[in-house]
A and B are shown apart, each in its own frame.
Chain A
Amino acid sequence: MGFLSSIDISGSALTAQRLRMDVISENIANAETTMTDTGEPYRRKVCVMAPRQSFSSVLDGEMAKGVMVTDIIEDGSDFELEYDPDNPLANAEGYVLKPNVDEVEEIIDLMEATRSYEANVTALNATKNMAAKALSIGD
């Protein structure tokens, strides 16, 4: 039981939530990107979160210490079709493939990440106050 290592628990969550916000921002920024290096429109990206636990700590039966983003995966759902015959990327029928990013969904995810971030800041401050209080014993 480290004195200040428990602050890293909330710290890891702050890092993970911030990365999640970055990925969401990237999705929103690329909501209209119809062409990428792969020749396809932009694909929505999603963070995969998992408890932060090492192999040895699992064997020792210790509890996880925080959270981490293990992977950023691409959403495999279908691209949207938009009728835009003037676009140079339009197919024979005049349709253009658009990214599979739903702005409303992204904004809701962004709100969720922000709230989680705030909850972790609160937890971190509580721990900080407790540690400071422990140092005042005997005053």
Chain B
Amino acid sequence: MLNNLFDKVNLLQKGLDASWKRNEVIMNNIANVDTPGFKSSSVGFEAEMKRALEEGEHGFSAKVTRPEHYQFASNLPDEIQPAVVTNTDTSYRQDGNNVDIDYESTQLAKNTLWYDTLIEKVSSEFRKLKTVING
């Protein structure tokens, strides 16, 4: 039991990292709202994480016989990293900029709430542990 004591917390921490990264990207988009030719970016993480978690349960992994053999691409939830994608295919304005300030503002609000939710989950995990320890 003690081996996977912090499994959930570690998983939530990955989510927090991705959310923080997304916040940075949104801030950068908003900062560059008046920069000619700037293209907005977004962060992909949750879908990839979900896929990895589901595959971890009833998926399959590559059989390796030597340590230098490659595993299947990002099969393990631990190896999933938030990916920053730049949206180069659109232009909203004459100067080539494609930052939609309304979209970025809603994403910012959404991301902040999501971050707070994850923090609350981490705290509740620790509260549970505290209860168990104190009896």
- Give A contacts to B, CB under 8 Å: 1, 6, 9-10, 12-13, 16-17, 20, 49-51, 63-67, 112-113, 116, 119-120, 122-124, 126-127, 129-130, 133-134, 136-139
Contacts and interface: CB of A to CB of B under 8 A. Distances in A.
B38 A51 contact: yes
Contacts of B91: none
A120 B105 CA distance: 10
A16 B32 CA distance: 10
B11 to A, nearest CB: 15
Contacts of B105: 119, 122
B49 interface: no
Given A10-B31, A50-B35, A119-B30, A63 B20 contact: no
B80 to A, nearest CB: 16
Contacts of A134: 16, 115, 119
B interface SS class: helix
A126 B123 contact: no
Interface string B54-81: 0000000000000000000000000000
Contacts of A120: 27, 30-31
A116 B32 CA distance: 9
A133 B41 contact: no
B112 A126 contact: yes
Interface of B: 16-17, 20-21, 23-28, 30-36, 38, 41, 84, 101, 104-105, 108-109, 111-112, 115-116, 119, 122-123, 126
A64 B32 contact: yes
Contacts of B111: 126
A126 B108 contact: yes
A130 B34 contact: no
A133 B36 contact: no
A6 B108 CA distance: 14
A138 to B, nearest CB: 5
Given A51-B38, A63-B84, A6 B123 contact: no
Contact of A133 (B28, B34, B116): B116
A69 B90 CA distance: 24
Nearest to A3: B20
